[in-house]
Chains A and B, each alone.
Chain A
Amino acid sequence: MSTMEAAFGLILHWNVLATIMAAALFGLFVGAIPGLTATMAIALLVPVTFFMDPVPAVGAMVACSAMAIFAGDIPGTLLRIPGTPASAAYTNEAFRMTQKGEAERALGANLLFSAVGGLFGTLVLMFTAPWLAEIALKFSSFEYFWMALLGLTCAAFIGASAPVKGLISLLIGLFVATIGLNNPAGVPRFAFGNANLMGGIDFISAMIGLFAVSEVLRTVAGGARQAPMVQASIGNLFRGWGRLLKTYWRQQLRGNILGTAIGVLPGSGADIAAWVSYAISRRFSKTPEKFGTGHLEGIVESTSANNSSLAGAWVPALVFGIPGDSITAVVIGVLYVKGLNPGPTLFLTDPQTIYAVFLIFILANLIMIPFGWGTIKLAKQILRVPSKMLMPIILAFCIVGAFATNNTVFNVSVMLVFGVLGFVMEENEIPIAPCILGIVLGPMLEQNFVTSMIKADGSFLGFFERPIAASLGVVTLLIWSWSLASYLLARQRSPHAADVQAAGRGPTKP
């Protein structure tokens, strides 16, 4: 129990609590503004967390991401524009409810089930992470190699419109990770003799470029969006919460479980959790014909799923140092900066910090209810903030943030290069998330691959000699062959279907 007391001691400081509150408000604002994603909120927040102690830094990121994912539902419901990609799955449904005059019912359900989903994911995190850490202590380079490869595989193949493009994004990320001196042999690679490049590409600057600058470029290219007017009036949010919990307990539980599981799966996050849950809700519904007409059932299930996946994503991040989604990819980077190297030993050396993170998760999901209520009440004002003013300010934050990572203007160049790269990638439907996971996991993958090759004396069979390594390897290879087979099958069945689909899709994301 003393660990728990120490954990409480770590978070019960006015500055820790104030940081969490401020990050929560920031997350709510960014999440509620269409076009600004939860990952972008985190990318903009990270430079500020450099100057904090580990616990408030991590707490700020937990609170910010949970709030941003919830707040994405607000413009989705009121304007039919998802605030973050994680809300896109049920935006139409929620907007139909607004058209029927049920905006407060939809938003109230979003708030309630987001908070409950977050708490469920946290419970899973609290109970599985320490248990998995004990298993992970016995892992050798073979297991870590397969874990990393499995994570990257999922990132590349799940949720990408075309698996080849997901793979390309991933490989670009892996290449970026090889730049510099940071490799098992200590040889300078792809550095052009440049001292800054020798140190490797700064991951935070790359991230700010990929997720924030690319969005600024997209806005600049298309011209600023007009701030739309919210027409709906919002009544009492809390009405009928008890009945909601009773009516939809099954959907909620299923959404929570599925969301957490998808979160735990390395490389897939809140947006995929929401899409899958919505589809499953429809599939098992007694009234599937009501879906799409402003029916609450699917919203409950998917809004539960996207928030519960956030905590789930922390399981592989804390236990193995393998990010569950792009948000935890940043978190891992920050943990390294703070000297809290993620991995099973963290549970032995610093259990109080881990428990403090758990407590912050609970706190963040509890304050979501009053804070979320306030944000919904202020939604009309927040959504009126014009993007023609917001985007230049975000660009300024990006520049300062990239500079602050290392206090060199070189990182601003890194940010710019990755901003352009991210913009071109998204325009061509190459997803960004696998790239960022490649950059984070690249060094770990290479280190464990080379070590394992040396240990196994170059025999690939050595990778399958230990039981856990063998199972992980088989799962990875199964996903590879399954993706390849379904790709070939789809192509054989309709040789032009994929192309038609690709041509019909718009160049910009919702």
Chain B
Amino acid sequence: MRFNDAVLGAVLLAFSITIGLWARSFPAIPGQEYGAAVFPTLVAVALGGCALLLILSGLRQGGGVLLFEGWARAPGGYVRILCTIALVIFYILAAKPLGFIPTMTVVLLFTLRMLKTGWLPAIAVALATAIVLQWSFGNFLQVPLPWGILSAWRF
């Protein structure tokens, strides 16, 4: 997912302008010249400068908005990245109601299958990892991983 430097620069420029303007709204400390806004403003100015340099070098470089190299030539790579992100979001939303073991098993199973692991090993690895993590982090390190629908069977 290699962008043209000009595109990256434009995004960063917009971002730096946003944080620069936002920083202006921070309240000043009465009688004090250097408050909460100073440092973010400096960061915004420096970032804006770098963004301009990137835009310049990107324009000189020319070429398309997105360079298609390596995995980016086939659409499958993008789909798999989006699926992975979606799986983590699924975990964030479902872990509490469903519980750690079912949610993590689903996440692992999908990821394993996406990377072309066979069905049987995928199911075995997914279940084993989820249970071992629940046992080791949940009991041993006392991380409160949610039990959800499996509350009756907690160990």
**Residues of A participating in the B interface, judged by any CB pair closer than 8 Å:** 48, 50-51, 164-165, 167-168, 171-172, 174-175, 178, 183-185, 187, 189-190, 216-217, 219-224, 386-389, 391-393, 395-397, 399-400, 403-404, 407, 409, 412-413, 415-416, 419-420, 423-424, 427-428, 445-446, 449-450, 453-454, 458, 498-499, 502-503, 506-508
Contacts and interface: CB of A to CB of B under 8 A. Distances in A.
A391 B19 contact: no
Contacts of B121: 389
A217 B81 contact: yes
B92 A224 contact: no
Nearest to A216: B84
B21 to A, nearest CB: 12
Nearest to B84: A220
Contacts of A171: 43, 46-47, 50
B22 interface: yes
Given A183-B36, A396-B129, A219 B92 contact: no
B151 interface: no
Nearest to A451: B34
Contacts of A458: 33-34
Decide if the interface of chain B is mainly helix, strand, loop or mixed.
helix
B104 A51 contact: no
B149 interface: no
A51 B140 CA distance: 10
A396 B133 CA distance: 8
B72 to A, nearest CB: 7
Given A407-B144, A454-B34, A389 B112 contact: yes
19 contacts: A171-B46, A185-B26, A185-B27, A187-B26, A220-B77, A220-B84, A221-B71, A388-B116, A388-B117, A392-B111, A400-B145, A403-B143, A412-B88, A416-B85, A423-B81, A428-B3, A445-B39, A450-B34, A508-B70
A450 B61 contact: no
A189 B104 CA distance: 34
A164 B130 CA distance: 43
Interface string B112-144: 101111000100011001100100010001111
B39 A178 contact: yes
A503 to B, nearest CB: 7
Contacts of A51: 141-142
B115 A391 contact: yes
A399 B107 contact: yes
A400 B111 contact: no
A185 B29 contact: yes
A174 B44 CA distance: 10
Interface string B72-101: 100011101101110011011001100000
Contacts of B142: 51
B88 A224 contact: no
B71 A223 contact: yes
A393 B142 CA distance: 20
Contacts of A400: 133, 137, 143, 145
Contacts of A391: 111, 115
B84 A217 contact: yes
A503 B61 contact: yes
**Which of B29, B38, B96, B143 has the most CB atoms of chain A within a 10 A radius of its CB?**
B143
A168 B12 contact: yes
A404 B137 contact: yes
B15 to A, nearest CB: 9
A458 B35 CA distance: 12
A387 B81 CA distance: 16
For the complex of A and B, 9 pairs with smallest distance between CB atoms: A392-B111, A388-B115, A187-B36, A185-B36, A221-B77, A222-B71, A446-B39, A224-B115, A171-B47
Nearest to A172: B47
A488 B108 CA distance: 49
A178 B69 CA distance: 35
A165 B51 CA distance: 9
Nearest to A221: B77
Nearest to B22: A190
A152 to B, nearest CB: 11
Contact of A396 (B80, B107, B117): B107
Given A167-B50, A185-B35, A222-B70, A428 B2 contact: yes
Interface string B31-61: 0111110111001101100110110010011
Given A50-B141, A171-B47, A399-B91, 7 more contacts: A185-B35, A189-B23, A189-B36, A220-B115, A386-B117, A396-B104, A413-B92
A407 B100 CA distance: 13
Contacts of B80: 220-221
B8 interface: yes
Nearest to A457: B33
Contacts of B12: 168
A187 B27 contact: yes
Nearest to B96: A409
B65 interface: no
B115 A189 contact: no
A172 B10 CA distance: 15
Contacts of B19: 175, 190
A395 B38 contact: no
B115 A450 contact: no
A443 B92 CA distance: 29
Contact of B43 (A175, A220, A415, A508): A175
Contacts of A183: 36, 39
Nearest to B56: A164
B114 to A, nearest CB: 7
A220 B133 contact: no
Contacts of A399: 88, 91, 104, 107
